[in-house]
Structure 1
Amino acid sequence: MDKSEATAMTGAPAAGLSRTRAEKRRLTRWHASGAHLLISAGIAAAMLALMLMVWYPPPLFQAAGGNDLALILIGVDVVIGPLLTLIVFKPGKWGLKFDLAAIAVFQLAALLYGAHIIFLARPAFIVFVKDRFEVVSAVELRPERLAAARFEQFRRAPWTGPMLVGGEWPNDRAEQQKLLDANLAGEDLQHFPKYYVPYADSRREILAKADPIARVREIEPAAGKIIDEWLAKSGVAERDVRHLRLRARHGWVAVLIDRQTAQPVKMLLIEKP
């Protein structure tokens, strides 16, 4: 073997090592933070899709406070995690793997906690109460009250989106008094699943309480305008729908129901504080 061949053989590993080191040097904190941001944004987008498509279907996303919860989740998951990576990342830094692992654990814990809160706060039932709809979240339903429901399907909070149910006012005076007492504490029929009945069973009462759209224009012009805009876009005839209000934690929603079946046709956000 001549001298030139020996030099080539010994120089090859050194050149490869130099390229590896150069590649490591090119991986900056901005690259690491950007990659972290993309991963976090993907996770947040998946969570947001779950909220919008399952737990908080619009307009309940706004009316039930889902958008506020989503902003908190995004703030923690999408902003804080990548920002911490930007601060601590330095190629070749001693303890870098530990720092990144700690950030990942913190971010995962925050994500799981946020997802748990969002899950508990999800709308569980949309209940017809007297002359309106009320949204009750899963966290508002005590386990013992769910267990007391007369119908099996109401003994657990749904996982796949809010369930539309009817509410039946009790005939027993003692039960009526209990409801009145609960009302003083800020609770109403929707907080007691034992008064829930299948939605179809309340159809006549719901239709009797629903207003024609002309009536809405008279008493709530702003709501009437929003409804008229939707009717014009959708092509649904005004005579085919009736209106009831839905009260949620963060706003009022106009519920347009079929004038014969009482099934919801459209929900429109009217007011959000």
Structure 2
Amino acid sequence: MSTLVLVLVLCAALLHASWNALLKSSADPLASLAVMTIGAGLGALPLIIYLPLPLAASWPYIAMSAVLHTGYNLFLIRAYRIGDFSQSYPIARGSSPLLVTLGAALFVGEQMSLMTLLGVILISVGIISLAHVKNRSNLAGPIAAFTTGAFIAAYTITDGMGARAAGDALSYCGWLFVLDSIPLLLIYLYRHRRLPVTMTTGQVWTALGGGTMSLLAYGIVIWAVTLAPMGTVSALRETSVLFAALIGWLFLGEKLSVRRIGSCLLITIGAIVLSLHL
């Protein structure tokens, strides 16, 4: 992995933390996420207009990934609804790098050095340690968050294989986001029998902006997994949790406890280990 790829993946992590913070503040997560996916789909239109079609071998992966992304979105909403953001986000994001590393080894034959694997483990442990389980007798929230992490791992591996088969990672990304913008809107229409029109103009523009952030963030990741091991890219992307903690501290008035600072340091050390052994 080149320094350019490393820097861009870290930028993707910052973008990802930013749009999740926007979703967290929404009064209607399903409506906001539906508008976000529409925004990402609209932003992806130039990619499908001006770039050549992905190669035929990648289309099954695009279709599978669109289904997996829909499952991810629904479980993400559920995790945020029944669990705390400070609990759900770290569990979901922290569980995925190790799952991606395992899946990439099983399905793609990718292998990591011991130091690279150590970096992935440090980041995952650091992220999960940020989660605060208030009620250990009610595990519905953590289970939903872990299921979300499993969906993240599944679509990351699918998109890694698909983008490598597409011939053009950006074209693959464009078609994925356009197709991904449809299911959540249909689900919202089915549940509410109307468009998400109850949002204010400001909320709509905020959600569309979040969708653009998600397009840029994951577009970078799809491009990166064509150049570097999926597990490494996934681990670096999930440093978004570190950025989320900083955003919460700087802009949302959230406190950084000693435990959270220690977790952030562990994530930082893991990222440094990865950057030194790319």
TM-score for both structures, normalised by structure 2: 0.23
Higher strand share: 1
Considering fraction of residues, name the structure with more helix.
2
Higher relative contact order (CA 8 A, sep 6+): 2
Q: Normalising to structure 1: TM-score of the pair?
A: 0.23
